Amino acid sequence: MPSPQPKRIVENDAIRALISRDHLVICNGGGGVPVVEKADGYHGIEAVIDKDLSAALLASQIHADALLILTDADAVYLDWGKPTQRPLAQVTPELLREMQFRRRFDGPESDRLR
């Protein structure tokens, strides 16, 4: 199944409006519902949208002060599940972007940190 990069959160304005009125907004469940916009409106498509990438996009679009993604994993690993697996002691956003681009970054935490 395709896993496209999220491009825009459709309900962004509504979410921002609710937050501005001090509502606790729970949104982007499971990454959200993937849709495409056509002349007659939005249509669902068969795809899986990564929940953490969607969270990062939403945080950016609503100008959030911070985005926290909490986990119980002990580390981010390079070569996850392979004999060469090793934890990364320090990472930067730039390094994670580079690793994502090269698709050499694997493991349960990689999607949360891309």
Q: Work out the average pLDDT over 1-26.
A: 90
Q: 74-90 burial, b if ≥16 CB within 10 A, otherwise e?
A: eebbbebeeeeeeebee
Say whether pLDDT at 5 is over 90. Answer: no
Q: Work out the average pLDDT over 28-41.
A: 88
In this prediction, residue 105 carries a pLDDT of: 40
In this prediction, residue 15 carries a pLDDT of: 94
In this structure, the answer to whether residues 4 and 60 fall within a common structural domain is: yes
Q: How confident is the model at residue 37 (pLDDT cuts 50, 70, 90)?
A: very high
In this structure, the answer to whether residues 61 and 113 fall within a common structural domain is: no
Q: Work out the average pLDDT over 3-13.
A: 88
Q: What are the backbone dihedrals phi and psi of residue 88, each rounded to the nearest 5 degrees, phi first?
A: -95, 120
Show the domain range for 90. Answer: 71-114
In this structure, the answer to whether residues 75 and 65 fall within a common structural domain is: no
- What DSSP string runs through 60-82? HHTT-S--------S--EESTTS
- Measure the N-to-C terminal CA separation of the chain; round to a whole number of Å: 20
In this structure, the answer to whether residues 89 and 49 fall within a common structural domain is: no
Of the three residues 54, 69, 84, the one that is the final residue of a domain is: 69
In this structure, the answer to whether residues 3 and 33 fall within a common structural domain is: yes
> CA triplet 26, 107, 2: central angle to 5 degrees?
65
In this prediction, residue 59 carries a pLDDT of: 92
Question: Could you count the other beta carbons within 10 Å of the beta carbon of residue 20?
Answer: 9
In this structure, the answer to whether residues 49 and 90 fall within a common structural domain is: no
- Which has more pLDDT, 105 or 112? 112
> CA triplet 102, 76, 72: central angle to 5 degrees?
140
Q: Work out the average pLDDT over 66-72.
A: 82
Say whether pLDDT at 52 is over 60. Answer: yes
Domain total of the chain: 2
Say whether pLDDT at 18 is over 90. Answer: yes
In this structure, the answer to whether residues 91 and 111 fall within a common structural domain is: yes
- The torsion defined by the Cα of 81, 87, 92 and 95, in degrees rounded to 10, comes to -40
